Amino acid sequence: MRNRKTLATVALFAVMVVIAAACGDDEGATPTPTGAVTTTGGVAAGCPDTEFGCVTVAAGDPINIGALLTITGATATLGQPTLNGISLAIDHLDGKFDGVVGKLLDHNVKVTVGDETDPTSGQCGKAGGQTAATKLAADPSIVAVIGTNCSSSALGVADTILGGKGIVLVSPSNTSARLTTEAEHNAFYFRTAQNDAIQAKVVADFVYKELGITSAATMNDGGPYTSGLTGGFAQFFTALGGTITADEAFDPTLEDFRPLLTSIAQGSPGLIYFPNFNPPCALISIQAQEIPELAGVKLMGSDGCNDATFIDTAKDAADGVYLSSPIASPGAAAALFDELKDAYDSQYGTPASAFWPNAFDAFSIIKQSIEKVAVQQDDGSLLIPRTALKDAMYEVKDFEGVTGPLTCISTGDCQSQVAVNIGVYIGPETPYNPATPDAEAIYSEKFTLTEALGA
């Protein structure tokens, strides 16, 4: 097989550890620890929060963090790596990546896992997000939740269900711009992933300025992530002078894209942009080669496409497909990031996709916020007030994360005030290795969210 360049990603961690607790049912739920108490509209003894109450963690009981991720089906390559990233953050509580977990405020940490996979499509989606979020919200011991992987599982679903219980939700990989707009943002929702307003602008600049392509068609599965990216791309692309020849939506379970691609070919686009998930990304790449009218038309996906499944399914059809993904910019945390990559490789092998550092950072800022607001009791128990925890998250400023400095602004975007790198790469390498893609970047731009939206 001929040599191919690396896909555009940062290694998405594969977290596996459920610390100090075994999974209960098939959603990964764990038993509520003795003494865990929350109140809504009332107050536990000594709890300063009169709106959502406190989580009471009894002496000797673990602090329970939820993980709402896609860990089965076609998008498991997103969820399992994210879960591994959370585990590595817990491993590092003692300051070392040694497989021996540390403690948070003298308590162990456990992870209760909910699966956001939609049972109908086999991908992360609204139905799976609703079921899993409802289960997590019903567990009074859950302090905060890391998730979701997919924007469709969060927007108006998990953010609303968990926010309604006063439970902070921090996503390492939701990128839909809608999640943090003034009109739709839930006050308990945060993310350490980039806002897709940034990625859409970088892709538009790359296509128009670097490739010199002035006409493009877009394809999305109708979800907030995919339609948000194609819509943002269209906005920036047309502002540059480009033309959108077709904007097509499809069912995420679709397997035969030939009729849709044949229709798109009638508009003679120079490029087709399909920022979806797999297997659709891989199938589109394969089937586009079967349409004679699309000969010479460039193909491009984004971070949802960019995982090992794409290469495994598309094989030779992956050659020449452009992909965009975030690249970590650890800054002062560069040494920690290098340790983190080594620990991941050592404990889990090669990561399968690109948001693992964001998962590590999501846990890290939750940890910092818990340390800031938790009330230590004389008997060794903790009171963690829910509203104060949410407020502490908005006070995160210039946190040196492994993805770069994190500052959480009023929209819940925690990377929006720093430049987020988006590298665009062409073609895959076999075997897939997202850990070292930087040297293969063929294009990269940096924008703050304000700069992207103001452009």
- Indicate the CATH number for domain 197-328+418-454: 3.40.50.2300
Instruction: Determine the pLDDT at residue 329.
Output: 79
Q: Give me the chain's average pLDDT, please.
A: 86
Residue 25 has pLDDT above 60, yes or no: no
Give me the percent of the chain exceeding a pLDDT of 90. Answer: 69
Across 14-28, 190-204, 238-252, least confident range: 14-28
pLDDT range class, residue 13, cuts 50, 70, 90? very low
Instruction: Determine the pLDDT at residue 23.
Output: 33
Instruction: Determine the pLDDT at residue 1.
Output: 34
Across 33-37, 115-119, 156-160, least confident range: 33-37
Instruction: Determine the pLDDT at residue 424.
Output: 66
Instruction: Determine the pLDDT at residue 435.
Output: 40
pTM of the model: 0.83
What is each CA distance from 167 to 140, 142, 143, 297, 383, in whole angstroms? Answer: 10, 8, 7, 46, 14
Residue 10 has pLDDT above 80, yes or no: no
Q: Write down the domain spans for the chain.
A: 54-194+334-406, 197-328+418-454
Same topology, domains 54-194+334-406 and 197-328+418-454? Answer is: yes
Residue 79 has pLDDT above 70, yes or no: yes
Give me the percent of the chain exceeding a pLDDT of 70. Answer: 84
Summarised one tens digit per residue, pLDDT across range 408-452 is: 999 999 986 555 566 666 665 544 444 434 334 567 777 777 777
Residue 235 has pLDDT above 80, yes or no: yes
- Identify the residue with better confidence: 441 or 29: 441
Measured at the CA of 69, the angle between CA 66 and CA 70, to 5 degrees, comes to: 155
Across 351-359, average pLDDT: 88
Residue 239 has pLDDT above 70, yes or no: yes
Instruction: Determine the pLDDT at residue 238.
Output: 98
- Identify the residue with better confidence: 268 or 1: 268
Instruction: Determine the pLDDT at residue 78.
Output: 92
Residue 180 has pLDDT above 60, yes or no: yes
Instruction: Determine the pLDDT at residue 41.
Output: 38
Instruction: Determine the pLDDT at residue 44.
Output: 56
CATH homologous superfamily for 54-194+334-406? Response regulator (3.40.50.2300)
Across 242-263, average pLDDT: 97
pLDDT range class, residue 312, cuts 50, 70, 90? confident
Across 316-338, average pLDDT: 87
Token pair belonging to 190: 């945060």
